[in-house]
Amino acid sequence: MANGWTGNILRVNLTTGNITLEDSSKFKSFVGGMGFGYKIMYDEVPPGTKPFDEANKLVFATGPLTGSGAPCSSRVNITSLSTFTKGNLVVDAHMGGFFAAQMKFAGYDVIIIEGKAKSPVWLNIKDDKVSLEKADFLWGKGTRATTEEICRLTSPETCVAA
């Protein structure tokens, strides 16, 4: 992780099932999570896109201090179109905990989720292995139950964004 960046964007297309790795260096001037998220949404989501359209994105983005051990630096910014604002504005939310640092340690500055899956799936990232797993058994569960079930399947130390 040179100068706070891994240099990688993980792009997950739920429609096709394709999982690709891209260079994140073109976004360095946007500083971090919020800048990455808004720039990706601006560049890639066409005007008039609705929140549940296949063209929308869900962007998880970290900053240069994420994973550094600096106080309060394990944060991830999540950017997408709002279902609640008039005009479905681009909005962002921030999440603390271990998820952001683990995302960076796995080798990703940004994770872009796009498209629509035909059936429920969850994204499994274990070091450099990334896969989409069937999630029918998770459908309809709340955040806590989903997190507990994924941790039971993987490891109690698993970091989950649900």
Greatest Cα pair distance, the chain, in angstroms, is 41
CATH of domain 8-118: 3.60.9.10
Both tokens of 63, joined, read 């900053």
pTM flag (> 0.85): yes
Question: What is the per-residue pLDDT for 87?
Answer: 84
Contact 72, 65 (CB under 8 A): no
Lowest model confidence (mean pLDDT) among 25-34, 54-63, 88-97, 111-120 = 25-34
Query: Has residue 80 got a pLDDT over 90?
Result: yes
- DSSP collapsed to 3 states, the chain: CECCECCEEEEEECCCCCEEEEECHHHHHHCCHHHHHHHHHHHHCCCCCCCCCCCCEEEEECCCCCCCCCCCCCCEEEEEECCCCCCCCEEEEEECCCHHHHHHHCCCCEEEEECCCCCCEEEEEECCEEEEEECHHHCCCCHHHHHHHHHHHCCCCCCCCC
Q: What average pLDDT does the segment 124-150 reach?
A: 94
Q: What average pLDDT does the segment 149-153 reach?
A: 96
Both tokens of 101, joined, read 């640092």
pLDDT band at 1 (very low <50, low <70, confident <90, very high): low
Residues forming beta bridges with residue 133, ordered by sequence position: 122
